[in-house]
């Protein structure tokens, strides 16, 4: 039997094994880097001098607006979820409330971001947000027998007031 020369090319199976090993090593390296970075951050945090840090001090002049917008987003999400479930059970009178909650959720998420960034366009955007919050407040008032709708209504009213303080 003549000696068969082995092809220098790797089979597909060998290539897959090489790739799997390579992917595994990259994954292990990434995990190790993440763990090391986390430890370094934790150690540097332990050595920080916290005596001069006022944790209750608010550094953003728009903090009340940020908080009101965040609350509005959260309450709108709950209201929208409730409306969708209820409409699935046949309560079609919640459609307008769901629509308003969806609009206010998107609007207030952007409002929150602009307020956090202290955007130069914040006041102009707050005027728009006021209208959308007022619309949602009025729509949720029609369905306030539902606790989620009532909570959304109250959050919209609070956000409206914070916007008004900014706009004047």
pLDDT at 32: 47
Of 10-24, 26-40, 84-98, least confident by mean pLDDT is: 26-40
Report the pLDDT averaged over residues 85-111. Answer: 97
Same domain, 92 and 41: no
Domains of the chain: total: 2
Report the pLDDT averaged over residues 107-112. Answer: 98
Report the pLDDT averaged over residues 32-39. Answer: 48
**58 in a domain, yes or no?**
no
Q: Domain residues for 84?
A: 63-167
Report the pLDDT averaged over residues 78-91. Answer: 97
Single pTM value for the model: 0.66
Q: What is the DSSP string of the chain?
A: -PPPPPPSSPPHHHHHHHHHHHHHHHHHHHHHHHHHHHHHHHHHHHTS-GGG--TT----TTHHHHHHHHHHHHHHHHHHHHHHHHHHTT-GGGHHHHHHHHHHHHHHHHHHHHHHTT-TTHHHHHHHHHHHHHHHHHHHHTTTTSHHHHHHHHHHHHHHHHHHHHH-
pLDDT at 36: 46
Same domain, 105 and 130: yes
* Start-to-end CA span in the chain (Å): 97
CA-based nearest residue to 137, from 150, 126, 123: 150
If pLDDT is split at 50, 70 and 90, which confidence band does 31 have? very low
Same domain, 35 and 80: no
Tokens 């303080």, located at residue: 165
Same domain, 94 and 156: yes
């Amino acid at each position: 039997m003549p000696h068969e020369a082995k092809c220098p090319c790797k089979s597909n199976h060998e290539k897959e094994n090489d790739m799997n090993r390579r992917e595994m090593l990259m994954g292990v390296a990434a995990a190790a880097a993440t763990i090391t970075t986390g430890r370094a951050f934790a150690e540097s945090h332990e050595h920080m001098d916290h005596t001069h840090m006022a944790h209750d001090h608010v550094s953003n002049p728009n903090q009340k607006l940020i908080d009101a917008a965040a609350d509005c987003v959260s309450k709108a999400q709950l209201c929208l979820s409730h409306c969708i479930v209820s409409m699935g059970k046949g309560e079609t009178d919640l459609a307008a409330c769901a629509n308003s909650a969806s609009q206010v959720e998107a609007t207030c998420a952007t409002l929150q971001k602009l307020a956090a960034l202290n955007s130069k366009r914040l006041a102009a955007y707050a005027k728009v947000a006021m209208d959308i919050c007022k619309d949602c407040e009025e729509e949720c008032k029609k369905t306030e027998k539902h606790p989620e709708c009532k909570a959304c209504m109250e959050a919209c009213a609070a956000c409206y007031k914070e916007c008004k303080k900014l706009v004047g």
